[in-house]
């Protein structure tokens, strides 16, 4: 009898947590994007590719901004065939290189007259350093998108109403910001174990939420809005560079039970990008296409301002 009760309790707990953390409602907005231009970073794989498909099917010109030319061009062919939209192109962007970010922005601004949506989707959980000496997770998940967004802000303002969408994670809730570590070591956390990389990843996702919060404040009155979000627990390539026992457990068990597919994972991104009448919620955080209140640290004006100022220095803007 006890065993039966235990099993039932486990099943109930599974379905409750699956509904909260994994299940994603489908975005059914009817917005048309003909004549609009959208950048999706990391748009060649995973959630990014699914997001790009959802955007392209609504008629937009879509720029897949990603590192690999081969994979980017393959994704372009796949997406054109899938969506019937031939206005999808690849432009090379390596967020681990500030030089590449600047080159991408310069190339984009010279070749494209519009920017209506910037979707900062790309992210990783890798060890090592960027070519600029930043921790890889700090550089790719925060400093690269921070610089990219700022370099493109004038074009976004010219094409307003426009939006910036930053793909964060529920993991931000356990993240912290250690400014001493960032300024001294140019990293979000020390150590290179799987646990250390996971910590740094959660810290970077908190950076995404704080960046969105501060960006919205600085954009008040411009008709450019910003949003951050949790896409859900998604089967993607995020953990491809974590090679120890943790990955084997994730692939063998967790991803099968607790993760959704990339199309479902793109739904909240599409909601933040396309849902009408959410401009008054600029700077806020969403999950499962719903507004979610974040912890005090993630909406603290002092912390977000300090992170912005440090990010300006690390990105070479200041």
Do residues 118 and 135 lie in contact, with contact meaning Cβ atoms separated by under 8 Å?
Answer: no
pTM: 0.89
Q: Which two tokens stand for residue 145?
A: 């998108």
Two structure tokens written together for 301: 């004006």
For residue 316 the two structure tokens come to: 């070479």
Residue matched to tokens 């994972």? 265
* Dihedral over alpha carbons 80, 85, 89, 95 (to 10 degrees): -90
Asked if 27 and 270 count as a contact pair (C-beta separation under 8 A), the reply is yes
Q: What pLDDT does 232 receive?
A: 85
Beta-carbon count within 10 A of 210 CB? 29
**Mean pLDDT calculated for residue range 147-168:** 98
pLDDT of residue 318: 86
According to DSSP, residue 294 is labeled P
Question: Domains (ranges, CATH) in the chain?
Answer: 2-314 (3.40.50.720)
Checking if the pLDDT of 1 tops 70, the result is: no
In angstroms, what CA-CA distances link 205 with 25, 55, 71, 143, 172? 22, 24, 25, 12, 5
pLDDT of 175-189, one tens digit each? 999 999 999 999 999
pLDDT score recorded for residue 258: 54
pLDDT of residue 233: 72
What's the confidence (pLDDT) of residue 97? 98
State mean pLDDT over 61-71. 97
CA distance 156 to 164: 9
pLDDT class for 293, splitting at 50, 70, 90?
A: very high
Q: How far apart, in whole angstroms, are the C-alpha atoms of residue 3 and residue 229? A: 39
Q: Which one has a higher pLDDT value, 4 or 275?
A: 275
Across the chain, mean pLDDT equals 90
Q: Is the pLDDT of residue 317 over 90?
A: yes
Looking at 107-116, 226-235, 270-279, which range is the least confident one?
A: 226-235
CA-based nearest residue to 272, from 35, 54, 20:
54
> At residue 14, does pLDDT exceed 80?
no
Q: Which residue carries 């060649």 as its tokens? A: 44
Long-range interactions of 293-302: CB distance < 8 A, separation 24+: 294/172, 294/173, 294/209, 295/173, 297/176, 297/177, 297/206, 298/172, 298/173, 298/206, 298/209, 298/210, 298/213, 299/209, 299/213, 300/210, 301/213, 301/214, 301/217
**For range 29-41, the mean pLDDT:** 95
Give me the active site residues, please: 201
* Main-chain phi, psi angles of 194, to 5 degrees: -55, -40
> Radius of gyration over alpha carbons of the chain, in Å?
19
Distance between alpha carbon 12 and the CA centroid of its chain, in Å?
31
User: Which two structure tokens, joined as six digits, stand for 182?
Assistant: 């960032």
- State how far the Cα of 55 lies from the Cα of 47, in Å rounded to an integer: 12
139 pLDDT more than 80? yes
**pLDDT tens digits, residue range 142-156?**
999 999 999 999 999
Mean pLDDT, rounded, for 42-61: 97
What percent of the chain is predicted at pLDDT more than 90? 80
pLDDT tier, 74 (very low <50, low <70, confident <90, very high otherwise): very high
Task: Write the pLDDT tens digit of every residue in 78-122.
Answer: 999 999 999 999 999 999 999 999 999 999 999 999 999 999 999
Q: What is the pLDDT of residues 187-217, one digit of tens each?
A: 999 998 989 999 999 999 999 999 999 999 9
Contacts of 149 (CB under 8 A, 6+ apart): 118, 120, 164, 211, 215
Stretch 158-180: mean pLDDT? 98
Determine which of 93-97, 164-168, 255-259, 298-302 has the lowest per-residue pLDDT on average. 255-259
What φ, ψ does residue 271 adopt, rounded to 5°? -60, -50
């Amino acid at each position: 009898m006890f065993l039966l009760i235990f099993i039932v309790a486990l099943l109930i707990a599974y379905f409750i947590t699956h509904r909260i953390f994994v299940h994603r409602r489908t975005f059914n907005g009817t917005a048309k994007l003909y004549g609009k231009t959208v950048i999706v970073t990391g748009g060649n794989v995973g959630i990014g590719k699914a997001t790009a498909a959802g955007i392209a099917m609504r008629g937009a010109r879509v720029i897949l901004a990603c590192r690999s030319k081969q994979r980017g061009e393959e994704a372009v062919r796949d997406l054109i065939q899938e969506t019937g939209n031939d206005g999808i192109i690849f432009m090379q962007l390596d967020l681990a290189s500030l030089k590449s970010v600047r080159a991408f922005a310069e190339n984009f601004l010279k070749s494209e007259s519009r920017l209506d949506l910037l979707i900062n989707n790309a992210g990783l959980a890798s060890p090592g350093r960027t070519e600029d000496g930043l921790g890889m997770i700090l550089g790719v998940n925060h400093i690269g998108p921070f610089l990219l967004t700022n370099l493109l802000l004038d074009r976004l303002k010219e094409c307003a109403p426009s939006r910036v969408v930053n793909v964060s994670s529920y993991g931000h809730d356990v993240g912290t910001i250690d400014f001493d570590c960032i300024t001294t070591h140019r990293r979000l956390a020390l150590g290179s174990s799987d646990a250390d990389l996971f910590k740094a990843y959660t810290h970077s996702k908190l950076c995404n939420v704080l960046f969105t919060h501060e960006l919205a404040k600085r954009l008040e009155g411009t008709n450019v809005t910003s949003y951050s979000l949790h896409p859900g627990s998604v089967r993607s390539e995020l953990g491809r560079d974590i090679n120890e026992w943790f990955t084997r457990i994730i692939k063998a068990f967790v991803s099968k039970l607790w993760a959704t597919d990339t199309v479902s994972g793109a739904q909240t991104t599409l909601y933040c990008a396309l849902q009408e009448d959410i401009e008054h919620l600029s700077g806020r955080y969403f999950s499962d296409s719903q507004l979610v209140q974040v912890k005090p640290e993630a909406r603290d004006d002092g912390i977000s301002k300090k992170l912005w100022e440090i990010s300006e220095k690390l990105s070479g803007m200041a």
